[in-house]
Amino acid sequence: MRSGAKKKDLDLVRVPGAFEIPLAARKLAETKKYDAIVCLGCLLRGDTAHYDVIVNEVTRGIGQSAQETGVPHAFGVLTCETLEQAIDRAGLKMGNKGFEAALAAVEMASLREAISRRASAISKKKQVPRSARNDKSEKWNDKSKKRNDKSLGRSSSMRSAGPKTKRK
């Protein structure tokens, strides 16, 4: 709400446990109705290795969902040793990790939109084929390649990539 979002534009989805966060986040992202997903939860360490397995899977799942759907996912899942530490990190002594995750989601959604606008503007520009350009970039590139080859102790005939051109 501080960032300008309206309460009616936000959806709160509750899941039974942290392990279910990635699936819920992915399903929401796949609808393409959301600019970003904020994943909030808390995992408290117990006496078994179960904690480590869940932490790793939740982290991997949220990241994978973001990468595969293209919708930013903010990671606000607390991984704490004790309940007291979790309460402190959720907004008392050590900042508010949920608020920080929400801000990250807003920033990533804005960045994604800006990149999309820029890419759209670039694709609308008419591309001029290299052969039709009237500039010296090709000759400069040849000189640059020759200089790089010499600095690496190779002759220009040892290059394996690039078109063969006449040298003057």
Position 168 in a domain:
no
CATH of the domain at 91: 3.40.50.960
Q: What is the pTM of this model?
A: 0.67
Domain count, the chain: 1
pLDDT tens digits along 120-146: 766 666 666 666 666 555 555 555 555
DSSP state of 147: H
Q: What is the pLDDT of residues 3-59, one digit of tens each?
A: 667 788 899 999 999 999 999 999 999 999 999 999 999 999 987 788 999 999 999
For the residues 101-122, what does the mean pLDDT come to? 88
Task: Please list the active-site residues.
Answer: 50
Question: Which residues is 96 bridged to in the sheet?
Answer: 90
**Parent domain of 92:** 7-124
Q: Which tokens is 40 given?
A: 């909030």
Is 163 inside a domain boundary? no
Q: Is residue 147 in a domain? A: no
Please count the other Cβ atoms lying within 10 Å of the Cβ belonging to residue 79. 19
**Residue 145, in any domain of the structure:** no
Instruction: Decide if 89 is inside a domain.
Output: yes
Return the ∠ at Cα 113 (arms to 104 and 31), rounded to 5°. Answer: 85
Q: What is the dihedral of CA 105, 110, 115, 118, to 10 degrees?
A: 170
Q: What is the mean pLDDT of the chain?
A: 80
- pLDDT for position 114: 92
For residue 136, is it within any domain? Answer: no
Q: From residue 71, give the alpha-carbon distance in Å to each of 1, 8, 64, 118.
A: 20, 20, 11, 17
Q: Classify residue 148: in a domain, yes or no.
A: no
